[in-house]
Protein backbone atom coordinates (compact mmCIF):
# COMPACT_ATOMS: atom_id res chain seq x y z
CA UNK A 1 0.00 0.00 0.00
CA UNK A 2 1.33 3.42 -0.93
CA UNK A 3 1.53 6.02 1.76
CA UNK A 4 1.35 9.77 1.77
CA UNK A 5 5.10 9.83 2.41
CA UNK A 6 5.72 7.97 -0.88
CA UNK A 7 3.99 10.69 -2.83
CA UNK A 8 5.79 13.44 -0.94
CA UNK A 9 9.07 11.79 -1.92
CA UNK A 10 7.85 11.73 -5.53
CA UNK A 11 7.00 15.43 -5.35
CA UNK A 12 10.45 16.20 -3.95
CA UNK A 13 12.05 14.15 -6.72
CA UNK A 14 10.16 16.14 -9.36
CA UNK A 15 11.13 19.44 -7.69
CA UNK A 16 14.78 18.37 -7.73
CA UNK A 17 14.55 17.34 -11.38
CA UNK A 18 13.04 20.70 -12.30
CA UNK A 19 15.86 22.41 -10.39
CA UNK A 20 18.36 20.48 -12.55
CA UNK A 21 19.79 18.07 -9.94
CA UNK A 22 21.66 15.41 -11.98
CA UNK A 23 21.08 12.63 -9.40
CA UNK A 24 17.36 13.38 -9.34
CA UNK A 25 17.27 13.32 -13.15
CA UNK A 26 18.96 9.89 -13.12
CA UNK A 27 16.43 8.65 -10.53
CA UNK A 28 13.53 9.95 -12.61
CA UNK A 29 14.89 8.36 -15.79
CA UNK A 30 14.97 5.05 -13.91
CA UNK A 31 11.34 5.54 -12.87
CA UNK A 32 10.37 6.42 -16.45
CA UNK A 33 11.59 2.99 -17.55
CA UNK A 34 8.12 1.69 -16.68
CA UNK A 35 6.65 3.46 -19.73
CA UNK A 36 7.73 0.97 -22.41
CA UNK A 37 6.56 -1.90 -20.18
CA UNK A 38 3.15 -0.27 -19.62
CA UNK A 39 2.72 0.35 -23.35
CA UNK A 40 3.72 -3.24 -24.13
CA UNK A 41 1.17 -4.57 -21.62
CA UNK A 42 -1.57 -2.33 -22.99
CA UNK A 43 -0.71 -3.57 -26.47
CA UNK A 44 -0.88 -7.21 -25.33
CA UNK A 45 -4.28 -6.59 -23.75
CA UNK A 46 -5.71 -5.59 -27.13
CA UNK A 47 -4.13 -8.39 -29.13
CA UNK A 48 -0.81 -6.77 -30.08
CA UNK A 49 -2.25 -4.20 -32.45
CA UNK A 50 1.01 -2.22 -32.55
CA UNK A 51 4.34 -3.56 -33.82
CA UNK A 52 7.52 -3.38 -31.70
CA UNK A 53 8.65 -0.45 -33.88
CA UNK A 54 5.32 1.31 -33.27
CA UNK A 55 5.76 0.76 -29.53
CA UNK A 56 9.27 2.23 -29.64
CA UNK A 57 7.97 5.32 -31.41
CA UNK A 58 5.03 5.52 -29.01
CA UNK A 59 7.39 5.39 -26.03
CA UNK A 60 9.28 8.39 -27.41
CA UNK A 61 6.04 10.23 -28.17
CA UNK A 62 4.73 9.56 -24.66
CA UNK A 63 7.93 10.85 -23.09
CA UNK A 64 7.80 13.94 -25.31
CA UNK A 65 4.27 14.69 -24.07
CA UNK A 66 4.98 13.85 -20.43
CA UNK A 67 8.29 15.66 -19.91
CA UNK A 68 7.04 19.24 -20.36
CA UNK A 69 4.18 18.48 -17.96
CA UNK A 70 6.40 17.35 -15.08
CA UNK A 71 5.83 20.67 -13.33
CA UNK A 72 2.11 19.79 -13.18
CA UNK A 73 2.70 16.69 -11.03
CA UNK A 74 0.81 17.25 -7.75
CA UNK A 75 1.66 14.11 -5.80
CA UNK A 76 -1.93 12.88 -5.58
CA UNK A 77 -0.70 9.52 -6.88
CA UNK A 78 2.64 7.84 -7.37
CA UNK A 79 4.71 8.92 -10.36
CA UNK A 80 4.09 5.56 -12.04
CA UNK A 81 0.33 5.97 -11.66
CA UNK A 82 0.61 9.47 -13.09
CA UNK A 83 2.74 8.14 -15.98
CA UNK A 84 0.08 5.50 -16.68
CA UNK A 85 -2.45 8.17 -17.65
CA UNK A 86 -0.09 9.50 -20.30
CA UNK A 87 0.66 5.96 -21.50
CA UNK A 88 -3.01 5.06 -21.76
CA UNK A 89 -3.93 8.20 -23.69
CA UNK A 90 -0.98 7.87 -26.06
CA UNK A 91 -1.75 4.20 -26.61
CA UNK A 92 -5.43 4.78 -27.34
CA UNK A 93 -4.55 7.56 -29.78
CA UNK A 94 -2.12 5.22 -31.54
CA UNK A 95 -4.78 2.50 -31.76
CA UNK A 96 -7.22 5.00 -33.26
CA UNK A 97 -4.65 5.93 -35.91
CA UNK A 98 -3.84 2.29 -36.59
CA UNK A 99 -7.51 1.39 -37.06
CA UNK A 100 -8.82 4.35 -39.06
CA UNK A 101 -11.77 2.44 -40.49
CA UNK A 102 -12.93 1.25 -37.09
CA UNK A 103 -12.11 3.88 -34.49
CA UNK A 104 -12.13 3.16 -30.80
CA UNK A 105 -15.17 5.45 -30.48
CA UNK A 106 -17.02 3.28 -33.01
CA UNK A 107 -16.00 0.19 -31.08
CA UNK A 108 -17.48 1.71 -27.94
CA UNK A 109 -20.81 2.02 -29.69
CA UNK A 110 -20.79 -1.67 -30.64
CA UNK A 111 -19.38 -3.63 -27.70
CA UNK A 112 -20.27 -6.98 -29.26
CA UNK A 113 -17.67 -6.29 -31.94
CA UNK A 114 -14.99 -5.66 -29.33
CA UNK A 115 -12.28 -8.21 -28.76
CA UNK A 116 -12.45 -9.22 -25.10
CA UNK A 117 -9.11 -7.62 -24.25
CA UNK A 118 -9.99 -4.27 -25.80
CA UNK A 119 -13.40 -4.38 -24.18
CA UNK A 120 -11.84 -4.66 -20.71
CA UNK A 121 -9.47 -1.81 -21.43
CA UNK A 122 -12.27 0.44 -22.66
CA UNK A 123 -14.44 -0.44 -19.65
CA UNK A 124 -11.57 0.66 -17.43
CA UNK A 125 -11.39 3.97 -19.31
CA UNK A 126 -15.19 4.33 -19.04
CA UNK A 127 -14.97 4.08 -15.25
CA UNK A 128 -12.38 6.85 -15.21
CA UNK A 129 -14.53 9.04 -17.45
CA UNK A 130 -17.55 8.41 -15.21
CA UNK A 131 -15.53 9.37 -12.15
CA UNK A 132 -14.97 12.78 -13.72
CA UNK A 133 -18.75 13.32 -13.74
CA UNK A 134 -19.01 13.04 -9.96
CA UNK A 135 -18.69 15.86 -7.46
CA UNK A 136 -14.98 16.69 -7.17
CA UNK A 137 -14.86 15.71 -3.48
CA UNK A 138 -16.52 12.36 -4.18
CA UNK A 139 -14.11 11.65 -7.02
CA UNK A 140 -11.10 12.52 -4.88
CA UNK A 141 -12.26 10.28 -2.00
CA UNK A 142 -12.98 7.35 -4.33
CA UNK A 143 -9.59 7.73 -6.03
CA UNK A 144 -7.78 7.86 -2.69
CA UNK A 145 -9.69 4.83 -1.45
CA UNK A 146 -9.22 2.64 -4.53
CA UNK A 147 -6.08 3.85 -6.27
CA UNK A 148 -4.02 4.88 -3.25
CA UNK A 149 -5.62 2.23 -0.98
CA UNK A 150 -6.01 4.65 1.93
CA UNK A 151 -8.36 4.04 4.85
CA UNK A 152 -11.21 6.44 5.59
CA UNK A 153 -9.16 7.81 8.50
CA UNK A 154 -6.08 8.39 6.29
CA UNK A 155 -8.20 10.09 3.66
CA UNK A 156 -9.74 12.32 6.34
CA UNK A 157 -6.30 13.38 7.54
CA UNK A 158 -5.11 14.06 3.99
CA UNK A 159 -8.20 16.13 3.11
CA UNK A 160 -8.62 17.75 6.51
CA UNK A 161 -12.13 16.36 7.10
CA UNK A 162 -13.61 13.84 9.50
CA UNK A 163 -13.68 10.13 8.63
CA UNK A 164 -17.50 10.25 8.76
CA UNK A 165 -17.54 13.00 6.14
CA UNK A 166 -15.14 10.92 4.03
CA UNK A 167 -17.53 7.96 4.28
CA UNK A 168 -20.46 10.17 3.25
CA UNK A 169 -18.60 11.39 0.14
CA UNK A 170 -17.47 7.85 -0.62
CA UNK A 171 -20.84 6.12 -0.37
CA UNK A 172 -22.75 8.88 -2.17
CA UNK A 173 -20.10 8.92 -4.89
CA UNK A 174 -20.23 5.14 -5.27
CA UNK A 175 -24.02 5.21 -5.59
CA UNK A 176 -23.81 7.94 -8.23
CA UNK A 177 -21.03 6.09 -10.06
CA UNK A 178 -23.14 2.94 -10.12
CA UNK A 179 -26.04 4.88 -11.64
CA UNK A 180 -23.75 6.40 -14.29
CA UNK A 181 -22.25 3.04 -15.21
CA UNK A 182 -25.63 1.28 -15.35
CA UNK A 183 -27.05 4.09 -17.44
CA UNK A 184 -24.16 3.84 -19.90
CA UNK A 185 -24.48 0.07 -20.08
CA UNK A 186 -28.19 0.41 -20.86
CA UNK A 187 -27.47 2.91 -23.63
CA UNK A 188 -24.87 0.60 -25.17
CA UNK A 189 -27.23 -2.40 -25.08
CA UNK A 190 -30.09 -0.44 -26.68
Q: Are residues 117 and 185 in the same domain?
A: yes
- Which CATH number do you get for residue 114? 1.10.10.10
Q: Are residues 9 and 43 in the same domain?
A: yes
Where does residue 64 rank: exposed (0-12), middle (13-18), buried (19+ CB within 10 A)?
exposed
Chain center to CA of 121: 11
Q: Are residues 68 and 109 in the same domain?
A: no
Q: DSSP letter for 37, please.
A: H
Q: Which domain holds residue 15?
A: 1-98
Tallying the residues shown for the chain, one arrives at 190
CA distance 42 to 55: 10
Q: Are residues 64 and 76 in the same domain?
A: yes
pLDDT per residue rounded down to tens, the chain (190 residues): 444 555 788 899 999 999 999 999 999 999 999 999 999 988 888 777 888 999 999 999 999 988 899 888 888 888 888 888 888 888 888 887 776 544 434 433 444 333 444 444 445 566 777 788 888 999 889 888 877 778 899 999 999 999 999 999 988 988 888 887 777 655 544 4
pLDDT of residue 190: 46
Contact, 34 vs 66, CB < 8 A?
Answer: no
Q: Are residues 156 and 116 in the same domain?
A: yes
Amino acid sequence: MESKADHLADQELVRSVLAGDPRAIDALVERLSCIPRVLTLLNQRVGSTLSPEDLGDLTQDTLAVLWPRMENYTGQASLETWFYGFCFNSFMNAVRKKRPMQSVDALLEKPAALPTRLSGLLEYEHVHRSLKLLDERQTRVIRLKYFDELTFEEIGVRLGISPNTVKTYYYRGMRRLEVLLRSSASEVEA
